[in-house]
């Protein structure tokens, strides 16, 4: 079932989304050669707690038999696509690409956001991958309004990404969000126009294109969380939490 949030609930989601965006941008500013990814995680968690929120990824479980996610922030480097675990040993170096994904529970409502940033100076290929992924999220968001369908979003993302020579991940998807960290519907980053669930006013969705320079096949690392590209090629990830309105989408995880 896809839930519909009330205007009062959307107000709280917007409040939380704005705080989350501010925290994630502050953390992203700390990304530089020589920093351990655990430092980014510590900062994200501290800022979330100071704001009166809770990190929603920490101790998150997808299955009973799997270890819970041990951190507040996902930090995925280079060929890691999503769900990278921050650590003391993972030191960022010049030329790396870091995807930062952060979720927060605030006044009982969940928002979710991700950005990808270069470490130091980015190569032209990295710049292009980041730009295309960011723009593909905008394309997906641009499809949203009451009456459109889930397939319209994926179609717009896929078309834009492939036109630029990259590939969208198939086996991980965006999702509904708000009352829980993950809700229905699934939002694939590929698809056909005019297919899937019809969008209604008050639906809150987390769109998250995961874009790969090479082939869109993934492998799960030994830590059981980190998804990496099978061919070792670079990946980028951008995410916003948005609400469906009559005339379009309103981004909840933005500063303004
Ligand atoms: Mg998400």
Report the separation in Å between the CA atom of 246 and the middle of ligand 1, taken as the mean of its atom positions: 24
Report the separation in Å between the CA atom of 112 and the middle of ligand 1, taken as the mean of its atom positions: 5
Is the pLDDT at 64 greater than 90? The verdict is: no
Kindly state the greatest CA–CA separation across the chain. 48
Tell me the average pLDDT across 14-24: 98
Long-range CB contacts (within 8 A, 24+) of 212-219? 212/81, 212/166, 212/167, 212/168, 212/169, 213/125, 213/129, 213/166, 213/167, 214/167, 215/167, 216/167, 216/168, 216/169, 216/170, 218/81, 218/169, 218/171, 218/172
Report the separation in Å between the CA atom of 55 and the middle of ligand 1, taken as the mean of its atom positions: 13
Is the pLDDT at 186 greater than 80? The verdict is: yes
Report the separation in Å between the CA atom of 184 and the middle of ligand 1, taken as the mean of its atom positions: 12
Report the separation in Å between the CA atom of 206 and the middle of ligand 1, taken as the mean of its atom positions: 6
Report the separation in Å between the CA atom of 208 and the middle of ligand 1, taken as the mean of its atom positions: 6
Report the separation in Å between the CA atom of 44 and the middle of ligand 1, taken as the mean of its atom positions: 16
- pLDDT digits over 107-135, tens only? 999 999 999 999 999 999 999 999 999 99
Tell me the average pLDDT across 226-233: 98
Give the pLDDT of residue 63: 80
Report the separation in Å between the CA atom of 175 and the middle of ligand 1, taken as the mean of its atom positions: 7
Give the pLDDT of residue 231: 97
Residue 66 confidence class, pLDDT cut points 50, 70, 90? confident
Report the separation in Å between the CA atom of 74 and the middle of ligand 1, taken as the mean of its atom positions: 11
Tell me the average pLDDT across 79-89: 98
Give the pLDDT of residue 65: 75
Report the separation in Å between the CA atom of 174 and the middle of ligand 1, taken as the mean of its atom positions: 6
Give the pLDDT of residue 175: 98
Is the pLDDT at 40 greater than 90? The verdict is: yes
Report the separation in Å between the CA atom of 207 and the middle of ligand 1, taken as the mean of its atom positions: 7
Domain architecture of the chain: domains with CATH = 7-251 (3.90.230.10)
pLDDT, the chain, mean: 97
Give the pLDDT of residue 137: 98
Ramachandran quadrant class, 84 (left: phi over 0; alpha: psi -120 to 50; beta: rest): beta
pTM of the complete model: 0.97
């Amino acid at each position: 079932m896809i839930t519909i949030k009330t205007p009062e609930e959307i107000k709280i989601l917007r409040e939380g989304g704005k705080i989350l965006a501010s925290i994630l941008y502050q953390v992203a500013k700390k990304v530089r050669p020589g920093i351990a990814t655990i430092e980014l995680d510590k900062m994200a968690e501290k800022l979330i707690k100071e704001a009166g929120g809770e990190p929603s990824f920490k101790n998150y479980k997808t299955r009973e038999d799997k270890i819970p996610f041990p951190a507040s922030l996902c930090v995925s480097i280079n060929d890691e696509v999503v769900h990278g675990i921050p650590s003391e040993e993972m030191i960022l170096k010049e030329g790396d690409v870091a995807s930062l994904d952060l979720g927060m529970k605030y006044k009982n409502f969940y928002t979710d956001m991700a950005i990808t940033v270069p470490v130091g100076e980015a190569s032209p290929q990295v710049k292009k991958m980041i730009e295309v992924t960011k723009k593909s999220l905008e394309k997906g968001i641009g499809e949203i309004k009451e009456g459109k369908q889930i397939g319209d979003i994926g179609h717009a993302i896929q078309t834009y990404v492939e036109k630029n020579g990259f590939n969208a991940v198939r086996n991980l998807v965006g999702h509904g969000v708000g009352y829980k960290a993950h809700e229905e519907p699934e939002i694939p980053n590929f698809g056909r126009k005019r297919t899937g669930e019809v969008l209604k006013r008050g639906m809150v969705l987390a769109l998250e294109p995961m874009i790969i320079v090479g082939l869109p096949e993934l492998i799960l690392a030994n830590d059981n969380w980190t998804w990496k590209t099978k061919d070792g090629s670079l990946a980028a990830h951008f995410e916003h939490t948005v609400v469906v309105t009559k005339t379009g989408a309103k981004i909840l995880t933005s500063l303004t």
